Amino acid sequence: KNEVEQSPQNLTAQEGEFITINCSYSVGISALHWLQQHPGGGIVSLFMLSSGKKKHGRLIATINIQEKHSSLHITASHPRDSAVYICAAPQLEEVGGNEKLTFGTGTRLTIIP
């Protein structure tokens, strides 16, 4: 079973700071998902990456498949970035063929104006 761990669990920063959230997983995978959960509860997909780096606006995600580690960075953080960020690793179950996601417990980010 793939274990997915995130750090830190909680992070508070001042507006404008550079933010880094880390994700480690135990079983080799070929892709990783980063999700954002808004304070109201809704979940949206930010990135799905299998190698290197992806960038979307002020958000950058990197992955090192060999080290089983991914990071999510936010540049010039803003209060509207306050949310829970969740990483998730896909795994194919041997019985039944379910390709399911194993989720980390999330990092709660608070950006103070």
Partner 1 sequence: EAQVTQNPRYLITVTGKKLTVTCSQNMNHEYMSWYRQDPGLGLRQIYYSMNVEVTDKGDVPEGYKVSRKEKRNFPLILESPSPNQTSLYFCASRILAGGYNEQFFGPGTRLTVL
Rank residues 5 and 15 by Cβ distance to partner 1 and give the closer one. Answer: 5
- Shortest CB 88 distance to partner 1, Å: 8
Cβ–Cβ < 8 Å for 49, 63: yes
Q: Report the 10 Å Cβ neighbour count for 6.
A: 21
Burial 79-105 (b: 16+ CB within 10 A, else e): eebbbbbbbbbebeeeeeeeeeebebe
According to the binding rule CB under 8 A, does residue 42 interact with partner 1?
Answer: yes
Residue given tokens 């954002």 in the structure block: 36
- Shortest CB 113 distance to partner 1, Å: 27
Rank residues 12 and 30 by Cβ distance to partner 1 and give the closer one. Answer: 30
For partner 1, the binding residues in 51-110 under the rule CB under 8 A are: 86, 88, 90-92, 96-101, 103-106
φ, ψ dihedrals at 46, nearest 5°: -95, -55
Q: Residue count at the site for partner 1 (CB under 8 A)? A: 27
* Residues at the site binding partner 1, with contacts judged by CB under 8 A: 4, 30-31, 33, 35, 41-45, 48, 50, 86, 88, 90-92, 96-101, 103-106
